A and B are shown apart, each in its own frame.
Chain A
Amino acid sequence: MKSWLPILLLLGCCASAGPPEHRSGYHLLGGELRALQDDDFANPGMLWVDRGERLWNAPGGPREQSCRDCHDEPANLRGLTNRLPRFDAEADRLHNLDTLVRDCRQQRQQAEVLPHESEDLLALTTLIAHQSRGLPLEVTVEGPARAAFEQGRASFERRRGQLDLSCADCHQRLEGARLRGETISAGMVNGFPLYRLTWEGLGSRQRMIRWCNEAVRAEPMDPDSRRALALELYLAWRSRGLPLESPAVRR
Chain B
Amino acid sequence: MSLSARVRIPTEARAGEVVEIRTLVSHPMETGFRVDSFGRRVPRNILTRFSCRYADREIVSMDLRPGIAANPYLAFRFVADVSGAIELRWEGQDGEVLVERGHLEVSAA
Contact = CB atoms under 8 A, between A and B. Distances in A.
A41 B28 contact: no
B1 interface: yes
A119 B29 CA distance: 16
A44 B74 CA distance: 12
A42 B1 contact: no
Interface residues of B, number: 14
B24 A47 contact: yes
Contacts of B26: 47, 51
A42 B73 contact: yes
Interface residues of B: mostly helix, strand, loop or mixed?
strand
B35 to A, nearest CB: 16
B28 A47 contact: no
B1 A200 contact: no
Given A42-B22, A200-B70, A47 B4 contact: yes
B71 interface: yes
A207 to B, nearest CB: 15
Interface of B: 1, 4, 6, 8, 22, 24, 26, 28-29, 69-71, 73, 75
Interface string A33-47: 000000001101011
B32 to A, nearest CB: 14
26 contacts: A41-B6, A41-B8, A41-B24, A42-B22, A42-B24, A42-B73, A42-B75, A44-B24, A44-B70, A46-B6, A46-B24, A47-B4, A47-B6, A47-B24, A48-B1, A50-B4, A50-B6, A51-B1, A51-B4, A119-B1, A197-B69, A200-B29, A200-B69, A200-B70, A200-B71, A201-B70
Interface string A188-227: 0000000001001100000000000000000000000000
Given A41-B6, A201-B70, 16 more contacts: A41-B8, A41-B22, A42-B22, A42-B73, A44-B71, A46-B24, A47-B4, A47-B6, A47-B71, A48-B1, A50-B6, A51-B1, A197-B69, A200-B69, A200-B70, A200-B71
A44 B73 contact: yes
9 smallest CB-CB distances across A and B, nearest first, come from: A200-B70, A44-B71, A47-B26, A119-B1, A42-B73, A41-B22, A41-B8, A42-B24, A200-B69
A41 B29 CA distance: 20
Contacts of A51: 1, 4, 26
A119 B3 CA distance: 13
Nearest to A50: B6
Nearest to A46: B6
A80 B38 CA distance: 39
Contacts of A201: 70
A229 to B, nearest CB: 26
